[in-house]
């Protein structure tokens, strides 16, 4: 367990400050096999303590060169100014997700990505969030009632609870209220199985073997994909047969959408984009909320200030959409959680031609990475970088950082299209549940971050559901 003192930071306590643990290893160069073994257990395990403060790193694994951008200048250069060179996701990411989402927006590139982005972005744009807000609030209220029915101090796996909550929200907004209720649990279980079994390291890609060489997939992965295919096909067919019922939903938007040439999306494209939106909107938000509950349980002064804001803005009712802008501290808790525990801790792209970044040669085929896990804790960018201090996100300074130093939703043209949806969902969920409950971590529980496709607090987060004022 490594704390801020190991990085050489000031560890004197400040109001609202909590120093969360994170895994690290000594600055000893492991062998390639040791490095691959570490990465297979958790992608965070490969970084040494000095990695957090280095602005630029180059390493070679097998036959593949990797470059890590860890400063606002290099992030902007690679992912914004030179987006056309680094638009393609890494082979590892593509091969890990293609069985699940096909040519969906998250892994596509070139003309396919451009056309899909033009279609999908307006469907989940910030301007559409108010229409989805009632479904979010309704679903959160149901989860809160279920918590209340368990009784005071009920032991609860909050990670699982947040997974089911966000799955219900995303299912109901993608598929409509009734279809979302019917299928949410099935889709969640299938996605969880998929992530549990997918390999984190693509050895063939590190050896620079061509993409057309098939990657071996176990029966568990094929079974999970088949279950998701079956559910999505049933949902799309059910929606078409009901003509949507006049309800706002993402599926309805995808079915009605036309590209710039007036062509509708194919059935497979609709299925793939629905899978992308579910994956991005469910898993990442669930992890963010789970981490927020963990951090709040360790920082009483932050929790007290959060409760004070909620009691002042909505003392005897749930927040309405207009209240979200009046909950800056609640949002700051979410943003600080995203800084410390970014749900996608590694963003990796493949260079499509020879280039230079910061004057360093980057050969074609190299992997260029922005690692929010490192960038967000870089002590040269963030004061008290390893402390949980939501106050740094109050006001208009974004923690005092360039926007290229804080990238929980990626940056540049490939920034997450559902950013506003996800932030609103997170703030509303935290606000509605924290009005009634103050979850406390089970004594003796050791929480350590584990990164596979996303960053999770292990496999479970055992807490007690303490009612407010109890």
Q: Is the pLDDT of residue 242 over 70?
A: no
Calculate the alpha carbon distances from 143 to 150, 162, 429 in Å: 11, 9, 10
16 φ/ψ sector (left φ>0, alpha ψ -120 to 50, else beta): left
Query: Residue 304: what are its φ and ψ, rounded to 5°?
Result: -65, -40
Percent of the chain with pLDDT over 90: 46
Query: What is the C-alpha to C-alpha distance for residues 134 and 418, in angstroms, rounded to an integer?
Result: 17
Axis-axis angle for helices 267-298, 177-197 (nearest 10): 80
> What is the set of domains in the chain, with CATH numbers?
4-465 (1.10.630.10)
Q: From the CB of residue 134, how many other CB atoms can be counted at a distance below 10 Å? A: 13
Calculate the alpha carbon distances from 309 to 197, 323, 330, 399, 438 in Å: 42, 11, 8, 20, 15
Q: Is the pLDDT of residue 37 over 90?
A: no
Query: Residue 427: what are its φ and ψ, rounded to 5°?
Result: -65, -45
- For residue 64, what are the β-bridge partners? 61
Rg (CA), the chain: 22
- Asked if 153 and 464 count as a contact pair (C-beta separation under 8 A), the reply is yes
Give the 3-state secondary structure of residue 437: strand
291: pLDDT confidence band, cut at 50, 70 and 90? very high
145: pLDDT confidence band, cut at 50, 70 and 90? very high
pLDDT of residue 174: 75
Query: What is the C-alpha to C-alpha distance for residues 266 and 150, in angstroms, rounded to an integer?
Result: 45
- For residue 355, what are the β-bridge partners? 362
8: pLDDT confidence band, cut at 50, 70 and 90? very low
8-state DSSP, 145: H
User: Cβ contacts of residue 426 below 8 Å, gap of 6+?
Assistant: 285, 288, 289, 292, 334
pLDDT of residue 229: 85
Q: Which tokens is 395 given?
A: 């006001």
Axis-axis angle for helices 300-313, 267-298 (nearest 10): 110
Query: What is the C-alpha to C-alpha distance for residues 173 and 133, in angstroms, rounded to an integer?
Result: 9
Query: What is the C-alpha to C-alpha distance for residues 97 and 272, in angstroms, rounded to an integer?
Result: 11
pLDDT of residue 29: 63
Most confident of 24-33, 362-371, 446-455: 362-371
Q: From the CB of residue 182, how many other CB atoms can be counted at a distance below 10 Å? A: 16
Q: Is the pLDDT of residue 133 over 50?
A: yes
370 φ/ψ sector (left φ>0, alpha ψ -120 to 50, else beta): beta
pLDDT of residue 7: 30
Calculate the alpha carbon distances from 203 to 91, 95, 296 in Å: 10, 11, 39
Average pLDDT over residues 174-178: 69
Give the 3-state secondary structure of residue 430: helix
- Asked if 367 and 349 count as a contact pair (C-beta separation under 8 A), the reply is yes
pLDDT tens digits, residue range 210-225?
777 777 777 888 888 8
DSSP 181-204: HHHHHHHHHHHHHHHHHS-S--HH
Calculate the alpha carbon distances from 220 to 51, 168, 451 in Å: 35, 24, 20
pTM summary value:
0.89
> Which residue has tokens 């929480």?
447
Average pLDDT over residues 371-379: 94
Average pLDDT over residues 77-105: 90
Query: What is the C-alpha to C-alpha distance for residues 406 and 3, in angstroms, rounded to an integer?
Result: 21
Q: Is the pLDDT of residue 2 over 90?
A: no
Higher pLDDT, 427 or 50: 427
Q: Is the pLDDT of residue 264 over 70?
A: yes
Query: Residue 408: what are its φ and ψ, rounded to 5°?
Result: -65, -20
Q: Is the pLDDT of residue 3 over 50?
A: no
pLDDT of residue 452: 72
CA 111 distance to own-chain centroid: 25
Q: What average pLDDT is seen over the chain? A: 84
Alpha helices in 299-353 (DSSP H): 300-313, 328-340
191: pLDDT confidence band, cut at 50, 70 and 90? confident
Query: What is the C-alpha to C-alpha distance for residues 13 and 29, in angstroms, rounded to an integer?
Result: 33
Average pLDDT over residues 124-152: 92
């Amino acid at each position: 367990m490594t704390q801020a003192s190991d990085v050489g930071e000031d560890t004197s306590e400040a109001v609202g400050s909590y120093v969360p643990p994170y895994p690290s290893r000594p600055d000893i160069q492991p062998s390639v096999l040791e490095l691959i073994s570490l990465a297979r257990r958790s992608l965070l395990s490969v970084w040494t303590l000095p990695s957090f403060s280095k602005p630029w790193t180059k390493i070679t694994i097998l036959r593949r060169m990797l470059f890590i951008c860890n400063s606002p200048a290099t992030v902007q250069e690679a992912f914004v100014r030179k987006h056309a060179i680094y638009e393609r996701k890494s082979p590892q990411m593509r091969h890990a997700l293609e069985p699940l989402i096909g040519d969906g927006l998250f892994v596509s590139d070139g003309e396919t990505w451009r056309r899909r982005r033009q279609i999908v972005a307006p469907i989940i744009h910030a301007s559409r969030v108010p229409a989805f807000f009632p479904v979010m609030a309704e679903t959160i209220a149901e989860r809160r009632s279920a918590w209340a029915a368990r009784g005071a101090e009920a032991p609860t796996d909050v990670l699982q609870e947040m997974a089911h909550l966000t799955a219900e929200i995303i299912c109901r907004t993608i598929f409509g209220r009734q279809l979302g209720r019917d299928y949410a649990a099935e889709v969640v279980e299938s996605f969880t199985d998929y992530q549990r079994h997918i390999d984190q390291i693509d050895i063939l890609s590190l050896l620079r073997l061509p993409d057309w060489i098939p990657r071996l997939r176990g029966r568990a992965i094929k079974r999970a994909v088949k279950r998701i295919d079956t559910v999505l096909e049933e949902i799309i067919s059910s929606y078409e047969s009901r003509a949507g019922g006049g309800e706002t939903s993402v599926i309805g938007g995808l079915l009605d959408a036309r590209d710039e040439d007036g062509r509708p999306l194919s059935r497979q494209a609709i299925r793939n984009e629905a899978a992308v939106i579910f994956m991005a909107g469910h898993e990442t938000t669930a992890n963010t909320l789970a981490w927020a509950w963990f951090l709040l349980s360790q920082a009483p002064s932050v929790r007290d200030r959060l409760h004070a804001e909620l009691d002042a803005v909505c003392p005897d009712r749930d927040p309405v959409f207009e209240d979200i802008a009046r909950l800056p501290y609640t949002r700051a808790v979410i943003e600080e959680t995203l800084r410390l525990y970014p749900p996608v801790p590694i963003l990796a792209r493949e260079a499509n031609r020879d280039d230079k970044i910061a004057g360093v040669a980057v050969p074609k085929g190299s992997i260029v990475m922005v690692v929010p896990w490192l960038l967000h804790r870089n002590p040269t960018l963030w004061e008290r970088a390893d402390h949980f201090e939501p106050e740094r996100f109050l006001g208009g300074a974004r923690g005092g950082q360039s926007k290229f130093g804080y990238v929980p939703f990626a940056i540049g043209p490939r920034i997450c299209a559902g950013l506003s949806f996800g932030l609103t969902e997170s703030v509303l969920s935290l606000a509605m549940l924290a009005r009634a409950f103050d979850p406390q971590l089970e004594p003796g529980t050791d929480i350590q971050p584990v990164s596979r496709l996303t960053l999770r607090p292990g496999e479970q987060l055992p807490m007690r559901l303490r009612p407010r004022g109890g």
